[in-house]
């Protein structure tokens, strides 16, 4: 057995202490023949420190496209020639989406907007939307609205938003290659405000944007320092018209190594499959990840790309005998 896996078995599985940056780097470098063992250990860690449940979430876009920022992976930036244009959803459609999400068995419903941060119009829409959903549907409401002021954080708490998503996207050292219109530290500041407010922090990123393995390990360590409740793990799905349109996909084995490594860095976090897993891993890899440290999925469509049908994921969880986390368990 590789020394790093023997060490992780004692430190992470038995004591619940995540691997540091150097340890994550070693896992990212494991030869292919050790990958099954790494995934098995990551799965044991997930079962031991998070339990067998899988958290299911649906997401909806309140405002799509036309964003003034230049995140190079994102087809919602108004600065690229990507075919996504600015569209707003009405409140009735938002409530319907929440209802459909709850009916699919999800406990989380995340309202997302493609903005640098919310303006008065967006906050007003959100206020109305959250109140309408709370009156009609039994589901936890999360939000993802970009960079926040402390007043906006307070308002989200008062509205009853229980979790806030804001992704660091990548390692601090690589971020300037990905975004030039705002900094990693601005994102970090919002995350600290959210954490201090008592809302749950959801913070993840995208692998395969051109970062080195050192930077992948750096990113895992930075997430561990933040200690978020949830980490959505995306794999780059290169979108036409964006500066990353020609990037190669992450190789499936590298993606699985990363899943195991992030789980071993973050033994207690909800590690969620987010965008890009279908084209990166396919059906077989989706299963391997769920048996290798992943314990949450997004059902249905992502923001600008199609995911797998919700029923496929739910059938797979059933087949793997993984119970879906219920609302009472998450409140
Ligand atoms: S990732 Fe968010 S902030 Fe960046 S361009 Fe896309 S919608 Fe805008």
> What is the per-residue DSSP string for 160-180?
T--EEE---BS-TTTGGGT-S
Q: Is the predicted pLDDT of residue 306 greater than 60, yes or no?
A: no
Q: Are 276 and 73 in contact (CB under 8 A)?
A: no
Q: Is the pLDDT of residue 93 over 60?
A: yes
Q: Give the global pTM.
A: 0.93
Q: Measuring CA to CA, how many Å separate 42 from each of 13, 39, 231? A: 8, 5, 15
Residue 327 CA, ligand 1 centroid: distance in Å: 30
The C-alpha atoms of residue 308 and residue 304 are separated, in whole angstroms, by: 13
Bridge partners, residue 201, by sequence: 164
258: pLDDT strictly greater than 80: yes
Mutation choice for ligand 1 from 62, 77, 205, CB with most ligand atoms inside 8 A? 77
Burial category of 253 from C-beta neighbours within 10 Å (exposed 0-12, middle 13-18, buried 19 and up): middle
Q: Is 76's C-beta closer than 6 angstroms to any atom of ligand 1? A: yes
* pLDDT of residue 239 exceeding 80: yes
What is the distance, to the nearest Å, from the Cα of residue 1 to the centroid of all Cα atoms in its chain?
A: 31
What pLDDT, on a 0 to 100 scale, did the predictor assign at position 90?
Answer: 87
Which of 232, 79, 69, 208 has its CA nearest to residue 142?
A: 232
Nearest-CA residue for atom 7 of ligand 1: 114
- The reply to whether ligand 1 has any atom less than 6 angstroms from the CB of 114 is yes
The pLDDT of residue 53 is: 92
Nearest CA to ligand 1 atom 4: 71
Task: Give the Cα separation of 276 and 75 in Å (integer).
Answer: 14
Higher-confidence residue of 283 and 182: namely 182
Read off φ and ψ for residue 112, nearest 5 degrees.
-120, 145
Average pLDDT over residues 178-199: 97
SS3 of 150, please? helix
Is the per-residue pLDDT at 199 higher than 90?
Answer: yes
- Give the per-residue pLDDT at 331: 42
pLDDT of residue 18: 98
Question: Which residue has the CA at smallest separation from atom 2 of ligand 1?
Answer: 114
Determine phi and psi for 19, rounding to 5 degrees. -70, 150
- How would you label 288-312 residue by residue, b for 16+ Cβ within 10 Å and e otherwise? bbbbbbbbbbbbbbbbbeebbebee
C-alpha of residue 183 to centroid of ligand 1, in Å: 12
CA of 182 to the centre of ligand 1 (A): 10
Q: Which of 71, 143, 168, 187 to mutate to test the pocket of ligand 1 (most atoms within 8 A of CB)?
A: 71
Mean pLDDT (the chain, rounded) = 91
Given ligand 1 and candidates 68, 69, 205, which is best to mutate, with the most ligand atoms within 8 Å of its CB?
69
Q: Are the C-beta atoms of 267 and 12 separated by less than 8 Å? A: yes
Q: How many angstroms does the Cα of residue 142 sit away from the middle of ligand 1?
A: 17
């Amino acid at each position: 057995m590789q020394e790093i896996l023997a060490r992780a078995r004692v430190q992470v599985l038995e004591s619940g202490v995540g691997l540091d940056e150097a340890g994550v780097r070693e896992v990212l470098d494991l030869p292919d023949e050790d990958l099954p063992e790494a995934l098995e250990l990551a799965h044991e860690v997930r079962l031991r420190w998070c339990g067998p449940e899988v958290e299911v979430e649906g997401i909806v876009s309140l405002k799509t496209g036309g964003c003034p920022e230049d995140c190079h992976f994102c087809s919602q930036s108004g600065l690229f020639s990507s075919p996504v244009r600015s569209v707003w959803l009405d409140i009735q459609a938002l409530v319907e989406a929440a209802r459909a999400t709850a009916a699919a068995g999800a406990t989380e419903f995340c309202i997302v907007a493609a903005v640098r941060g919310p303006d008065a119009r967006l906050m007003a829409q959100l206020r109305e939307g959250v109140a309408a959903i709370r009156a009609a549907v039994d589901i936890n409401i999360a939000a993802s609205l970009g960079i926040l002021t402390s007043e906006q954080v307070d308002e989200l708490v008062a509205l009853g938003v229980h979790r806030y998503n804001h992704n660091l996207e990548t390692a601090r050292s690589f971020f300037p290659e990905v975004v030039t219109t705002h900094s990693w530290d601005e994102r970090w500041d919002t995350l600290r405000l959210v954490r201090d407010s008592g809302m749950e922090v959801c913070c993840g990123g995208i692998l395969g944007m051109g970062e080195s393995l050192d930077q992948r390990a750096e990113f895992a360590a930075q997430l561990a320092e933040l200690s978020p409740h949830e980490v959505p793990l995306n794999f780059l799905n290169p979108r036409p018209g964006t500066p990353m349109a020609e990037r190669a996909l992450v190789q499936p084995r590298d993606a699985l190594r990363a899943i195991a490594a992030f789980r071993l860095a973050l033994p207690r976090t909800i590690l969620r499959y987010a965008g890009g897993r279908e084209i990166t891993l396919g059906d077989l890899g989706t299963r391997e990840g769920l048996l290798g440290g992943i314990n949450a999925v997004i059902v249905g469509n992502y923001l600008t790309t199609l995911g797998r049908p919700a029923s496929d994921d739910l059938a797979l969880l059933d087949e793997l005998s993984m119970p879906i986390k219920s609302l009472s368990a998450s409140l």
